[in-house]
Copies of this chain bind each other. A is one copy, B any other.
Amino acid sequence: MIDKRVASMAEAMAGIRDGSVVLLGGFGDVGQPDALIEGLIAQGASNLTVVANNAGRGRTGLARLMELGRVRRIVCSFPRSRGSVVFEELYSAGRIELEIVPQGTLAERIRAAGAGVAAFFTPTAVGTRLAENKEQRSFNGRHYVLEHALPGDVALIEAWRADRFGNLTYRESARNFNPVMAMAARLTIVQAQHLVELGTLDPEAIVTPGIFVSRVLHVPYAQAKE
């Protein structure tokens, strides 16, 4: 029987190594795998590269992981937002590396990794400092910049419903980066609000098929947002 459900956080986090590239779903707090981030904090892996839209806020979750010195490098589109105090401190002190990527380029680079595309030409950032020192080329009279696939060793994903195959649906705008990140990592770990029987998810409405998913941990809402 295919059964990707795991019974404990320890089992969910098993095997995440120092130096991993970790893709973190979510846009702000919505669709962010809060429980799995806590699990990663407890698990202990360090020297991580984190790929996420934002650089955390407050002193919990991703911010806490950074504050503990476990994140060597962050790749994101919007590091400096209200409450990103830990990032600001670390960055000012030169204790964290940062790669700024336009949000759409970030999403497309992650998708490219999941889709086996090594690199692609995008018009975003042409003529700006984010395209400096990057290869550029014209197609049909328009300028494009070459961007590379961004794969992860691990993806931490928040889903709404999951079955034992790892088929997933999301809730509203919590979908965001989660489906593309789920495609792009060697080890995709999901926290799901609801576990459902195999066959109850509509095959027309599954957003992430289980082929992209390694492990599913049941994390009901109240626990995730406590």
Contact = CB atoms under 8 A, between A and B. Distances in A.
A120 B112 contact: yes
Contacts of A123: 116, 118
Given A205-B204, A205-B205, A117 B118 contact: no
Nearest to A171: B204
B118 A144 contact: yes
**Number of identical monomers bound together in the oligomeric complex:** 2
Given A118-B120, A119-B120, 10 more contacts: A112-B120, A117-B120, A118-B121, A118-B140, A119-B121, A119-B139, A119-B144, A120-B121, A139-B148, A170-B204
18 contacts: A116-B123, A117-B121, A117-B122, A118-B140, A118-B142, A118-B144, A119-B120, A119-B121, A119-B144, A120-B120, A139-B148, A170-B204, A171-B204, A172-B203, A172-B204, A202-B205, A204-B205, A204-B207
Bin chain A's interface residue count: 20 to 34
Interface of A: 108, 112, 115-123, 139-140, 142, 144, 148-149, 169-172, 202-205, 207
